[in-house]
């Protein structure tokens, strides 16, 4: 089979940035409405999630420093629902893989899956908090604001989600996910508001990243302002989010899925797939077949999102830790995302299979896109048939069209190697 020739292109996105992240966090924490909440002798829990925030060690280090500057004692707690295999050891390991250790952030990491029930929402849903965080004198909820991968609403993935599901640990995640999309869309906001209104949370530290995975905005948010501030920051996050430069593709090849790229392994807003019964799929992009080549090391075998693909390779399949994946998938209740698709021997065979199944399409003229993951979209490959559309949207050619480059095992060369081949 003759494969499409592909051009390496680059696309530019808005790129606001915070120069010195640690200095910026310290400055936010010294503002009177925030600094007044930190008092001498306080033991303060600081949340750390599993989402792969690019500057998370620096952010946590600065927050810990602000607590100590006020005469307090900081410590870090994993706030990630069921991730890390829903075990205390697994969640601590996830943080280590993200560079979050006592040495890097200047505060001990204390991990537990035990929770305390804080109360119930007005609709009777129980709300939980990590036992170690609850036992502290105060909690700082740090998290990234971004579009959710399961739904769209005024509030999606951010501080309220971190408070309701992250700090709720496995039990909190199970409780809200058991209510389906309504649970993580509507009940999650109510639960998060209860956490922020409980008197346990000192403030939130909201992070917005640009399309290059860089810190674009930082805001310290008092508990009483979390809802309106999160709404506004989500709009900014949407404006800055990366996207494919084409509306349709016959085959989208993703080099890696992983929890460090998205909570669903692949950002559903980038690939155009929710795969949740009763939830309408995104309008764009429309991808006929999605092929995934590998699983990121930082996922620790958690392959949640593999069911979003149509075809995968053997090397991805052999890295799947069923226990870790099942814990996350079953907690989410979105079983489609955990189903393992057909497994092909290598990238070449997987791409050939996808092209063969693209009825009525000449393989050489097929619309083909290759991306490293769904987080880093500054450079990608598109087939000749899609090049004009990509360029009309502002993308630029880095290298002209050429044949797909495979190694001796039939796998695509890494991006840098492929460019030099």
Are residues 215 and 282 both part of a single domain? no
pLDDT category of residue 278 using cuts at 50, 70 and 90: confident
The 10 Å CB-count burial string (b at 16+, else e) for 313-333 is: bebbbebbbeebbbbbbebbb
Cβ count near 2 (within 10 Å)? 10
Are residues 199 and 259 both part of a single domain? no
Mean pLDDT of 245-263: 94
pLDDT in tens, 137-168: 999 999 999 998 888 889 999 999 999 999 99
Are residues 120 and 220 both part of a single domain? yes
Mean pLDDT of 179-186: 90
Look at residue 141 and tell me if it is in a domain: yes
Are residues 89 and 213 both part of a single domain? yes
Q: Give pLDDT, residue 260.
A: 83
Look at residue 19 and tell me if it is in a domain: no
3-state SS assignment for residue 360: coil
Q: Give pLDDT, residue 283.
A: 86
pLDDT in tens, 336-368: 999 999 999 999 999 999 999 999 999 999 999
Q: Which of 193, 215, 240 is the last residue of a domain?
A: 240
Look at residue 315 and tell me if it is in a domain: yes
Are residues 337 and 378 both part of a single domain? yes
Q: What percent of the chain has pLDDT over 90?
A: 84
> Looking at residue 215, which CATH number applies to its domain?
3.40.50.11440
Mean pLDDT of 39-57: 93
Rg (CA), the chain: 22
Q: Give pLDDT, residue 96.
A: 94
pLDDT in tens, 200-245: 999 999 999 999 889 999 999 999 999 999 999 999 999 999 999 9
Q: Which of 183, 210, 240 is the last residue of a domain?
A: 240
Helix (H) or strand (E) segment spanning residue 191? helix 188-196
Look at residue 21 and tell me if it is in a domain: no
Are residues 299 and 197 both part of a single domain? no
Mean pLDDT of 27-53: 95
Are residues 53 and 136 both part of a single domain? yes
Total tally of structural domains belonging to the chain:
2
On the question of pLDDT at 421 being above 70, the answer is no
Look at residue 24 and tell me if it is in a domain: no
On the question of pLDDT at 369 being above 70, the answer is yes
Q: Which domain holds residue 38?
A: 31-240
pLDDT in tens, 58-89: 999 999 999 999 999 999 999 998 888 889 99
Q: Give pLDDT, residue 403.
A: 96
Look at residue 218 and tell me if it is in a domain: yes
Q: Give pLDDT, residue 318.
A: 98
Are residues 296 and 208 both part of a single domain? no
Are residues 63 and 173 both part of a single domain? yes
pLDDT in tens, 292-312: 999 999 898 999 999 999 999
Determine the Cα–Cα distance for residues 216 and 204; give it in Å rounded to an integer.
17
Look at residue 1 and tell me if it is in a domain: no
Q: Give pLDDT, residue 416.
A: 66
Q: How many residues does the chain have?
A: 421
The closest alpha carbon to 410, from 340, 350, 368, 343, belongs to: 350
Burial class of 343 by CB neighbour count within 10 A (0 to 12, 13 to 18, 19+): middle
Are residues 206 and 345 both part of a single domain? no
Look at residue 39 and tell me if it is in a domain: yes
Q: Which of 240, 271, 287 is the last residue of a domain?
A: 240
Q: Give pLDDT, residue 417.
A: 56
Determine the Cα–Cα distance for residues 348 and 157; give it in Å rounded to an integer.
36
Tokens at residue 370, please? Answer: 């290759």
Of 281 and 133, the one with more pLDDT: 133
Are residues 285 and 214 both part of a single domain? no
Mean pLDDT of 365-378: 95
Are residues 114 and 211 both part of a single domain? yes
Q: How far is CA 1 from the centre of its chain?
A: 36
Task: Taking the CA atoms of 379, 380, 381 and 385 in sequence, report the sign of the dihedral they define.
Answer: negative
Average pLDDT, the chain: 94
Determine the Cα–Cα distance for residues 305 and 48; give it in Å rounded to an integer.
22
On the question of pLDDT at 117 being above 70, the answer is yes
């Amino acid at each position: 089979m003759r494969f499409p020739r592909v051009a390496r292109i680059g696309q530019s996105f808005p790129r606001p940035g915070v120069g010195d992240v640690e200095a910026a966090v310290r400055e936010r924490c010294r503002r009177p409405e925030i600094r007044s909440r930190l008092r001498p002798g306080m033991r303060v829990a600081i949340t750390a999630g599993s989402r792969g925030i690019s500057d998370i060690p620096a952010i946590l280090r600065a927050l810990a420093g602000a607590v100590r500057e006020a005469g307090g004692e900081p410590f870090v707690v994993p706030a990630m629902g069921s991730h890390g295999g829903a075990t205390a050891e697994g969640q601590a390991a996830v943080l280590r893989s993200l560079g979050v250790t006592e040495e890097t952030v200047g505060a001990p990491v204390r991990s537990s899956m035990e929770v305390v029930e804080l109360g119930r929402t007005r609709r009777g849903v129980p709300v939980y908090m990590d036992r170690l965080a609850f036992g502290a004198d105060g909690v700082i909820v740090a998290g990234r604001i971004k579009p959710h991968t399961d739904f769209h609403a005024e509030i999606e993935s951010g501080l309220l989600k971190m408070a309701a599901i992250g700090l709720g640990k496995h039990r909190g995640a199970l409780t809200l996910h058991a209510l389906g999309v309504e649970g993580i869309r509507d009940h999650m906001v109510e639960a998060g508001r209860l956490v922020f209104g409980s008197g346990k949370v000192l403030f939130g530290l909201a992070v917005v990243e640009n399309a290059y995975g860089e810190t674009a905005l930082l805001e310290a948010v008092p508990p009483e302002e979390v809802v309106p501030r999160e709404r506004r920051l989500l709009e900014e996050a949407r404006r800055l989010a990366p996207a494919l430069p084409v509306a349709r593709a016959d085959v989208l090849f993703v080099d890696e899925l992983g929890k460090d790229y998205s909570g669903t392994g692949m950002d559903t807003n980038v690939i155009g797939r929710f795969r949740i019964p009763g939830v309408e799929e995104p309008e764009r992009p429309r991808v006929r077949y999605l092929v995934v080549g590998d699983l990121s090391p930082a996922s620790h075998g958690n392959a949640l999102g593999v069911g979003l693909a149509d075809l995968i390779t053997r090397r991805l399949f052999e890295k799947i830790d069923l226990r870790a994946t099942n814990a996350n998938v079953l907690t989410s209740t979105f079983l489609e995302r955990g189903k393992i698709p057909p497994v092909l021997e290598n990238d070449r065979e997987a791409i050939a299979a996808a092209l063969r199944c693209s009825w009525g399409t000449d393989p050489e003229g097929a619309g083909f896109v290759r991306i490293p993951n769904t987080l880093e979209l500054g450079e990608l490959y598109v087939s000749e048939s899609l090049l004009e559309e990509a360029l009309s949207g502002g993308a630029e050619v880095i290298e002209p069209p050429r044949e797909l480059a495979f190694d001796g095992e039939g796998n695509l060369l890494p991006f840098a190697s492929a460019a030099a081949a």
